[in-house]
Amino acid sequence: MKQSQLFTKTERFAPKDEEAVNAKLLTRAGFIKKIAAGVYAYLPFGLRVIQKISNIVREEMNTIGGEELLMTTLVPKSYWDASHRWDVKEMFKMESERGEHMGLGWTHEEPIAHTAMQYIQSYKDLPKAIYQIAIKFRDEPRAKSGLLRGREFLMKDLYSFHASKKDLDAYYNVVIEAYKKVFRRLSLDAKVTEAGGGPFTKEYTHEFQVLSPQGEDALFYCEKCDFSQNKEIANPVNPPAGGHGAGVKSGDTCPKCGGKIKEGHGIEVGNVFKLGTRYSEAFNLKYLTKEGKKEFVVMGSYGIGISRLMGTLVEVFHDEKGMMWSEAAAPFKVHLLQIGDSASVKKQAENVYEELRKAGMEVLFDDRDVPAGEKFADADLLGIPYRAVVSEKTGEKIELKKRVEEKTELVSLLKLLAM
Amino acid sequence: MKQSQLFTKTERFAPKDEEAVNAKLLTRAGFIKKIAAGVYAYLPFGLRVIQKISNIVREEMNTIGGEELLMTTLVPKSYWDASHRWDVKEMFKMESERGEHMGLGWTHEEPIAHTAMQYIQSYKDLPKAIYQIAIKFRDEPRAKSGLLRGREFLMKDLYSFHASKKDLDAYYNVVIEAYKKVFRRLSLDAKVTEAGGGPFTKEYTHEFQVLSPQGEDALFYCEKCDFSQNKEIANPVNPPAGGHGAGVKSGDTCPKCGGKIKEGHGIEVGNVFKLGTRYSEAFNLKYLTKEGKKEFVVMGSYGIGISRLMGTLVEVFHDEKGMMWSEAAAPFKVHLLQIGDSASVKKQAENVYEELRKAGMEVLFDDRDVPAGEKFADADLLGIPYRAVVSEKTGEKIELKKRVEEKTELVSLLKLLAM
């Protein structure tokens, strides 16, 4: 893609109404545009990142047997009434011309359970797993953290259906492993954190927390092993079952490995819930056992914040000059800069661009007629993993630099193509 | 994909609350689920079709220089106030906890023009074209036609920005040609139909109309050439400029080729509008000319109904047994049926399935333990283009049949793989 032809441009200054680093950098770089508090449009580069993240999530969900579908944004009141969730304050609500009351989907257990009634009748129909990658809505009173807390945001939500609690437990662990893969592929260290289950379960649920000063959750985690607990369950009256007990605090000894417990802040990028029969009871979702008995289907639900992940990647990987995308999420792999405008430099840069394109490499070509300093500054701001410079000085070669390193090296076109 | 493991199943009877053929067949086949009138969830097969159609549209939009982005569903009242469209009756409206009034995006000229202000300043920034494939909302009083008229639906909307009316006119024709390619790739004969421009233009606009008894628009079209006119402009007091005049009716002579004019019904699958400066004036979107003057940017907008196309394909291509997907839009290319359950048939069918999968072919494998008649009936209902049968009778070969033809032929695995 030629930078001279792009719809967006970079901006020198961050918008005054943004506090969070992710919103400042993503806006300056032209990845997103704020339409209202917590409501962001994804401009072309931002959408490319969203699609990269979505495809990684999609692949891992397909691998564990998930089938992709797409539920609706408009969900009539009758669905929420069935589960007694119409009064949830964060749900946007409205009335249609014909007088129906509807909520905007902020989670989809209700229509999902209702749909499952149509297709799950017998133990032979179980287990099943379905997921979607869709826009969700929450009327958040405070939406000041850019993509970390949106009122309109992208989420992956997976729902699983089982004949028994035991089968759910096994699949729950399968999902945890798949989530670990997703975050590893995005170069994120997400701590599997024990948390309370809210009103629906007496067991622990698990959150995937990425350590960051911007995180809203306080965690106690082990500096040695992978133990991590949400502070909110540190001292409950009745600690949830199935975890490592409650009561750890900073300085304590890790109940798992004996290491030292530290306190930190985390951004919750995913979570997994054992719903049990909460929603199958609400919708009378039953199946016939081998023995001919009717039993409630046992459900699980599992979320990953797609747009929140984009914001998290910026919070975790940036420096004072701009963003630093890992290759898996980057809008492009290579940022090719033409420095100087002599005929030979132009020709050489065009040639490198065409060769990279032909090789199927995702490359952004800065062919603009602007000063070199501006091109270098923009490259640092956009944060594409590899910067390739063609100038009078590079001759036949190309100067290659990783965004996360200082050193540069002169490489041949062949080497660049093989990268 | 193995049919025995799918989330959805087919149903023998159409839902009683549906009138339209597309809704009846798509629901019976498990492609969609109605959540409310005009509000449908896309189940796995339905989503596959949506993705196929979207990718065709995406490719053709990229080819004409469109950059993809994603605007938001929540659009604050201030945007609609700027263009005096807050009062549009079909817009869903609501109020947030903090008292903001917002509309759900049913079209996006307003936030698009607002975004363009940030990036278009000079004639050097023009022309530009951006598009999105996104869910839209319209509070339709009558939503009885399945996917043909939704209250929540998927649309592709492209917006273009130009320095002059002349440049817009040229690009408008480029878009028309790209639209023709989209519909041709979907095997649809969409008539480029002259229509009135509504309050914004004195010129004709153009609709892409697919002839169908289900269509809501009445057309006068030539049975010989490509002339077509929406009946609503047949006798206006002031006929719009730039077309073939007004006043044709059934039986008339075609003003273009002298052929005979017929009357029919059309489903509007796309439309193109010259917006002119309507929205750049509303948002004060100006650019600096070469001569240093400030001028309003000239805009166009262009829509394709993605989910409506899915419904249209069913309306146009079906018989009494079910749907008939063209290869470009089909959820799978081949439907492999294992008929009989002897060890040899099972082994042969499994082998064919694995070979097709390895070759990268999209294949649905009916490995279910149900009667042969049910498998054949489901194959006809689902409408996958090629049916491949492995049974005791076929031996080493495979019985191949196209959904749209009656004849069958015995082919080798090699021939099937080369298909």
Predicted complex ipTM: 0.96
Q: Token pair of A93, please? A: 């609500």
- Residues A115, B76: C-beta atoms closer than 8 Å: no
From the candidates A28, A31, A48, A96, which should be mutated to test the interface with B, based on the most B CB atoms within 10 A? A96
- State yes or no: pLDDT of A389 exceeds 90: yes
Distance to chain B for A49, nearest Cα, Å: 11
Spell out which residues of chain A touch residue B42, defining contact as CB-CB under 8 Å: 69-70
- Residues B72, A119: C-beta atoms closer than 8 Å: no
Q: Check residue A237 and give its pLDDT.
A: 58
Question: For the packed helices B306-316 and B21-28, what is the interaxial angle rounded to 10 degrees?
Answer: 90
Q: Token pair of B272, please? A: 């193109």
- State yes or no: pLDDT of B417 exceeds 70: yes
What would the mean pLDDT of B85-100 be, rounded to a whole number? 94
- What are the pLDDT digits (tens) for B378-412? 999 999 999 999 999 999 999 999 999 999 999 99
- State yes or no: pLDDT of B43 exceeds 90: yes
Closest Cα in chain B to A10: B119
- What are the pLDDT digits (tens) for A271-298? 999 999 999 999 999 999 999 999 999 9
Q: Check residue A142 and give its pLDDT.
A: 83
Which of the four pLDDT bands, split at 50, 70 and 90, describes residue B348?
very high
Mean pLDDT of chain B: 95
What would the mean pLDDT of A114-140 be, rounded to a whole number? 97
Which of the four pLDDT bands, split at 50, 70 and 90, describes residue B238?
low
Q: Give, in words, the CATH class of A3-319.
A: alpha beta
- State yes or no: pLDDT of B236 exceeds 80: no
Out of A35, A46, A70, closest to residue B111 by CB: A35
Which of the four pLDDT bands, split at 50, 70 and 90, describes residue B201?
low
pTM, two decimals, is: 0.96
Give me the residue spans of the domains in chain A: 3-319, 334-417
- Residues B35, A71: C-beta atoms closer than 8 Å: yes
Whole-number Å distance between alpha carbons of A36 and A26:
15
Out of B42, B130, B152, closest to residue A69 by CB: B42
Whole-number Å distance between alpha carbons of A6 and B298:
18
- State yes or no: pLDDT of B232 exceeds 90: no
Spell out which residues of chain A touch residue B65, defining contact as CB-CB under 8 Å: 5
Spell out which residues of chain A touch residue B43, defining contact as CB-CB under 8 Å: 69, 115
CATH number of B11-319: 3.30.930.10
Strand order in the sheet with B334-338: B363-366, B334-338, B386-390, B398-402, B408-411
Mean pLDDT of chain A: 95
Q: Percent of chain B having pLDDT more than 70? A: 95
**DSSP assignment, residue B297?**
P
Whole-number Å distance between alpha carbons of A303 and A324:
25
Instruction: Give the closest residue to B28 by CA, choosing from B236, B271, B320, B303.
Output: B320
- Residues B102, A36: C-beta atoms closer than 8 Å: yes
Strand, helix or coil for residue A153? strand
Which of the four pLDDT bands, split at 50, 70 and 90, describes residue B327?
very high
CATH number of B334-417: 3.40.50.800
Whole-number Å distance between alpha carbons of B274 and B267:
21
Least confident among A131-135, B68-72, B173-177, B238-242? B238-242
- What are the pLDDT digits (tens) for A304-336? 999 999 999 999 999 999 999 999 999 999 999
What would the mean pLDDT of B57-72 be, rounded to a whole number? 98
Please give the single-letter amino acid code of residue B416: L
What would the mean pLDDT of B56-63 be, rounded to a whole number? 98
- Residues B41, A115: C-beta atoms closer than 8 Å: yes
Which of the four pLDDT bands, split at 50, 70 and 90, describes residue B26?
very high
Q: Check residue B235 and give its pLDDT.
A: 63
Out of B76, B89, B152, closest to residue A74 by CB: B152
- State yes or no: pLDDT of B282 exceeds 70: yes
- Residues B69, A76: C-beta atoms closer than 8 Å: no
From the candidates B50, B51, B68, B69, which should be mutated to test the interface with A, based on the most A CB atoms within 10 A? B69
Which of the four pLDDT bands, split at 50, 70 and 90, describes residue B239?
low
Whole-number Å distance between alpha carbons of A115 and A75:
13
CA distances from B377 to B24, B28, B311, B389, B404 (A): 16, 12, 21, 13, 14
Q: Around Cβ B107, how many Cβ atoms within 10 Å?
A: 18
